[in-house]
Amino acid sequence: MNVSGMNLKEFVPFFCDKRPNATINNQILNDQMVNAISILTAILTLLAGIGVFLVACTMMSSNLESAASRRLKRLFTKTGDNKWIGVGIGTLGTAAIQSSGAVTVMIIGFVNVGIMSLTQAATIIYGANIGTTVTAQLVALGLSGSSSFSTTLLFASLASVGAFIMLFTKVDSWKKIGGILTGFGMLFVGLSMMSSAMDEFAALQSVKLFLASIRNPLLLVLLGAVITAVIQSSSVMTSIAITMVVSGLIDLDQGIYLTMGSNIGSCVVAIIAGMASGVAAKRTAMIHLLFNVLGVVLFLCSALLLNILTSATWSFGTIFEYLFPTAPQLQLAMFHTVFNLCTMLVALPLTNSLVELSCRIIKDKPVEKTNEPHLFFLDPQMLRTPVVAIRQLKAEVENMAMLAIENYRRSVYNVTTLDDSKRQIFDQTETQLNYLNRELVHYALLLSNNQLNRFDHQYLVSTIRTVSDLERIGDYAKNINEYADSLRQQQVRFSDYALKEIGQMNGLIDRLYEASMQAYHKMDLGALGLANQIEEEVDQLTDEMERNHIQRLALGICKPQAGTEYISLAQNSERIADHLINVAKTIRDLQNV
């Protein structure tokens, strides 16, 4: 090689930089290993942060839900026809328990048992989407603060306060407060870990270049939706997007599109809950999806129009950067809030159209008549949401009461007319009552394993007794049916006087059923008082029936062959009344909780 033409500056590096190939390869390999370890560390830290964040959300949500379950039930059933009230209730409810998914599942459950209409459910869902933005605002607050003082660290320290409360207190209400504080603190522990992971990623040029290449709004929306669907939490996805923007991994516009996608992905929880429920529940889940898709389409079109009108000078990102300078965490959090507010304002006048569209997409199924015993309202999926599960259990209990009293009426019809044409449906209903007796007790025991407030726990205890009372009503109705069989075999009938008294007893039992169920359903002490009065009338009539029947036997008006069945019928009717009043009296225990 000819080096005679080189000067000194060129000559020295020529030999100094001429290292063996093995050394260069080792250096490249070491650099690649360092990058790989850094990426793996960042990924593991991110996964750990997401895990802690999800556990914190669940812990905080379940304790808040348990502590406020009675208030939530009252709140959600007071929407009326005012759409703005529905939005307000959805916002407050979600802000209170920090989970739009939990609120949506509750709404689906309430619609499924007929407590709430689709229109009412839609407005509450609008509010739930607004309420869930509170989490993003908390995350933005946690990432605020000077370099010398960390707001995240301050909030995270509340986890230890809550843990100590849970450890040293035996009072149920204080344990729930401890759980709420622990969940709240862990929320920021997870946030800190996710933020740390994003800083690790931000130090890797290859990761930054890869993320910077993803600019297509539709792709970003899809990515946000898929990630949210996988982790089933829009709060986590939004929090990840905020930390990515703060660390500089992505710009604000990319974060905005990811957040928009998270709104669509959040519908997965509602869709899963709706799939296992009735048509009305499926339509509620569809309304939730339509609402969020409407918002995303609206903002994507607005972003495109803004880009065209300003020659790509302005975007949603530049607008929020201008409104909230030097605070990237607040910029994305505020966009999230504005996005859901604007979507609500557009969707509110279109609520009836959204409901109608959901009905067209999810059509009514033809009623499938089955003779097999089955549950009418209960959904095992709702065990994770006690507020809804208890309402569904109550609806199932009330339905069981209706089945029991219908069988009593059939048995009275049979014994007074000796027409056995309704025997098949009677037997099917009796089988259904026995099935419900087993299943409702089993469901109540499963539900008792959740964190419940004292009222809900007492309700489950009373439900086990109530179900037993209703099953006994069915048994006494079966006894009356057997009396009809005996009369047919002996070819005798009750006298007109006896039939008149049976009709009076039947009327009193019907009135007692209506009063007892009103007391049970509405926690109405006035209805309980009326039920007690009617039950006393039943006792008096039973005594009269026995005395009058003995007199008729002595006068030869009634035949001796029917005597035993008549007295037994009167006594069985009285016992049915006793079990009905037992159902109504359960509200006394609940009123004292």
Query: Would you kindly state where each structural domain of the chain is located, as residue ranges?
Result: 28-361, 384-591
Per-residue pLDDT tens digits of the chain, which is 593 residues long: 444 444 444 444 443 444 455 555 565 555 556 567 777 777 788 788 778 877 776 776 666 666 655 566 666 656 656 788 888 888 887 776 666 766 777 777 777 766 678 888 889 889 888 988 887 787 777 776 544 445 667 777 778 888 888 888 877 778 878 887 887 778 777 767 776 776 676 666 776 677 778 888 999 999 889 888 877 777 778 888 888 888 888 889 999 999 999 889 888 777 776 666 678 778 888 898 999 999 999 999 999 999 888 888 888 989 999 898 878 888 998 999 999 999 999 999 999 899 899 888 888 665 455 678 888 888 776 776 777 788 889 989 999 999 999 999 999 999 999 998 999 999 999 999 999 999 999 999 988 887 777 888 888 999 999 999 999 999 999 999 999 888 888 888 888 888 899 999 999 999 999 999 999 998 899 999 999 999 999 999 999 998 888 888 777 777 776 677 888 899 999 999 999 999 999 998 887 76
Count the Cβ atoms, other than its own, within 10 Å of residue 340. 25
Q: Work out the burial of residue 486: count CB atoms within 10 Å of its CB; fewer than 13 is exposed, 13-18 middle, 19 or more buried.
A: middle
What ranges in 203-327 are assigned the alpha helix state H? 205-212, 217-231, 234-247, 252-265, 267-275, 279-309, 316-323
Which residues contact residue 55 at a Cβ distance below 8 angstroms, ignoring those fewer than 6 apart? 186, 190
Rounded distance, CA 404 to CA 407, Å?
5
What pLDDT, on the 0 to 100 scale, is given for residue 463? Answer: 93
Question: So what's the pLDDT on residue 107?
Answer: 78
**What is the rounded distance in angstroms from the CA atom of residue 457 to the CA atom of residue 451?**
9
Q: Which residue has tokens 């304790």?
A: 63
* Number of neighbours of residue 161 by Cβ within 10 angstroms: 15
CA dihedral 304, 306, 311, 315 (to 10 degrees): -90
How far is residue 163 from each of residues 154, 160, 189, 484, 525, measured CA to CA in Å? 15, 5, 14, 65, 41
Q: Please choose, from the candidates 235, 232, 212, the residue with its C-alpha nearest in 3D space to the C-alpha of residue 135.
A: 235
Burial of 211 (0-12, 13-18, 19+ CB in 10 A): middle
Helix or strand (DSSP H, E) at 519: helix 496-522
Q: Check if the beta carbon of residue 149 is closer than 8 Å to that of residue 111.
A: no
pLDDT score at 12: 42
CA 571 centroid distance within chain? 45
CA dist 154 and 159 (Å) reads 10
384-591 carries CATH number 1.10.3720.10: no
Q: Cα separation of 458 and 62, whole Å? A: 19
- Token reading at 122: 């839609």
426-438, pLDDT tens digit by residue?
Answer: 999 999 999 999 9
* Residue type for position 584: A
